[in-house]
Amino acid sequence: MSGVAAEQNLRVSLPSQELADAVELPAGVEVVLWDLTGEPPAPHLDLVVPPYMGKPDALAALAAVSVGLVQSQSIGYDGVAKALPAGCRFANAAGVHETSTAELAVGMMIASQRGLGDFARNQSTGTWDNGLRPSLADRRVLLVGYGGVGKAIEARLLPFETEVTRLASRARDDATGRIYGIESLQEQLPLHDIVVVSVPLGEQTRHLVNGEFLAAMPDGALLVNVARGPVADTDALLRETSTGRLRAALDVTDPEPLPQDHPLWTVPGVLITPHVGGASTAMLPRMARLIRKQIGLLQAGEEPVNVVLGGGDGR
């Protein structure tokens, strides 16, 4: 029976020729290019890959076709459930972006701790400022969110001789020790020099980083947000950083893009990158491998991986 399933022909929609060229397609797969704008290329598509970083509203275009699986190029899927037509299965890109996002998070920590932004600005004026800066070594780091990104960040932090505490939605133990639950957040925040947020955006995490959260962080602490912009209350963050009491390294903001005249841009001690956690050369080959894996599973009549909406979720 599996031999019959393996012979299934599939029609796959990809958003760009670059991605189509990167995917090693097996026999029996027809590729069409569609970025969810304009008329659908066929009445049925077995696999649809939307453009990277597209708005969830674009998924409304799928109502005009029958779709077997929607394969996102992002890990997060906030807002997708409301836009996804009934009957569609939706998979996220878990396994694609964790490495790059963790790499950026650690890079931002090093840049913020060691003052690399200040040194870059000083270079334009020839200013020699070699004062003492905080290290990353020996810092106590709290990971708020312990999914794939949080675990990847931890793996990269430990060789820097940091002391890492893990905190997730529920308390549990693993082979390396305790993972605290969200109920321990206010208790843990004052104990750490650096707090890294990598939780998914949802009703429970929107404005998780609020005035109370920030007030619990010790003076001089660094907040790193590689989650989603609305996880943090921008007004509260601006209040705490503009006084110099806290510092921040933000790959995501609310609103996004951050307006050119927004005061957060010019706050000393705030480092901002434009939501580029996953935007590295590691993305294309990893995304291509995931798509190739999904095609193989669909051809074999097996369940795809990373399905987060549709199927057994009641939709």
- The pLDDT assigned to 313 comes to 39
Catalytic status, residue 275: yes
Contacts of 124 (CB under 8 A, 6+ apart): none
Catalytic status, residue 256: yes
Strand partners of residue 69: 47
* pTM attached to this predicted model: 0.92
pLDDT in tens, 111-133: 999 999 999 999 999 999 999 99
- The one catalytic residue in 7, 18, 212, 256 is 256
Residues in the chain with pLDDT < 50? 1-6, 312-315
- The pLDDT assigned to 311 comes to 60
CB-neighbour burial class of residue 164 (10 A; exposed 0-12, middle 13-18, buried 19+)? buried
- The pLDDT assigned to 149 comes to 98
- The one catalytic residue in 89, 192, 228, 286 is 228
* 154: amino acid identity, one letter: E
- The pLDDT assigned to 158 comes to 98
